[in-house]
Amino acid sequence: MGETNWSQDVCLGCDRQTDGKAYCGEGCRLAEYMRTISRCKANSPASHQVPISSPTRSSNNFYLPPACDFRQQKSSTSGQVQLPKEVRRELDAYASSFDQFRQHRRQSVKEIESREKCLCTLINNAGVSGNTLETEAKTADEMKKNLFNAENSTCDDWCSTFRTNVPQLFFMTAAFLPLLEKSSEVHHGYSGTVINISSISGMVQSSQHHFGYNASKAAAIQLTKLLASEVANNGLKVKINSIAPGIFPSEMTAGGSGEDQKSHIDKEKY
């Protein structure tokens, strides 16, 4: 795929007007990404720099990220790969965050182990809804504006929604498997149970104005099936199921239903 001449005043990342630049300077993830890559290049030894291509798009308008390869950056003393300090700092932050997450799970397991001989039921109920988007449109351009150009249509929103709604189920279940397995030993004829709270939104074909949330709940349902299958294949006596409720009054939905959408039964009827 060849590069396209993007001389028109449109940002590659968010389609804002840019006065002839490839990407805008404010509020655009692509702009931040390109600035980070430029800083990485500036902090790298000249002999180890790899050319960074200009942002391009393929013919179907999907963004193609610039090339930035630091695999050749090796220490002259150890022979190990030495990434620029800004890249190392960001990777260390991700690693630290994940290490803290796993440590918290370990602490939770130890807390339960200190109090109970087993864990009979684990309910994974954490969830966030993410941003909502307008889906109704009369033209393709209008739909693009609603879904792609919208200020709240961000990769960060998708990632944060998935981070809460999907991997939490996996790691919590995996961490407590030994305690759940012990339920069949402590209570004869009983097996430990995992209940993942998903949503009817993960089963319907409509986006319901929140693509990220519905996709994450569909992933949660599939993840439940995968965990149940692997646990069964290993002969563990642990049941893993999901419940997909519809909308009901909660902190997440408190402002979502109008008065005409609430069910009611006159008390005089009974």
pLDDT tens, position by position, 208-224? 888 888 999 999 999 99
In terms of domains, do 91 and 124 share one?
no
Same-domain pairing of 111 and 90: yes
Q: CATH number, domain at 188?
A: 3.40.50.720
Residues 54 and 99 in one domain: no
Show the tokens assigned to 107.
């602490």
198 noted as active-site residue: yes
pLDDT (0 to 100) of residue 196: 95
Per the structure, the count of domains in the chain is 3
Choosing from 44, 213, 216, 242, the catalytic residue is 213
Walking along the chain (270 residues) 10 residues at a time, the average pLDDT comes out as 43 55 54 55 47 41 39 45 60 58 81 89 87 87 86 85 90 94 90 93 86 92 96 95 82 56 52
Pairwise CA distance, residues 202 & 128, whole Å: 13
pLDDT of residue 195: 96
pLDDT at 207: 83
Claim to verify: residue 63 and residue 162 sit in the same structural domain = no
Q: What is the pLDDT of residue 263?
A: 54
221 to each of 132, 212, 231, how far by Cα in Å?
21, 14, 16
Check residue 54 and give its pLDDT: 43
126 shares its domain with 242: yes
Same domain? For 39 and 13 the reply is yes
Task: Indicate the Cα dihedral angle 65, 68, 69, 75, nearest 10°.
Answer: -150
Per the residue annotation, which of 153, 198, 199, 201 is the catalytic one?
Answer: 198
Domain assignment of residue 107, given as a range? 84-115
Q: Are residues 149 and 180 in the same domain?
A: yes
% of the chain with per-residue pLDDT over 90: 24
Q: Is the pTM of this model over 0.85?
A: no
Which pLDDT score, from 0 to 100, does residue 160 have?
A: 86
Specify the pLDDT at position 95: 54
Query: How far apart (Å, rounded) are the C-alpha atoms in residues 167 and 159?
Result: 11
Instruction: Indicate if 217 belongs to the active site.
Output: yes
Distances, alpha carbon 144 to alpha carbons 135, 151, 154, in Å: 9, 12, 14
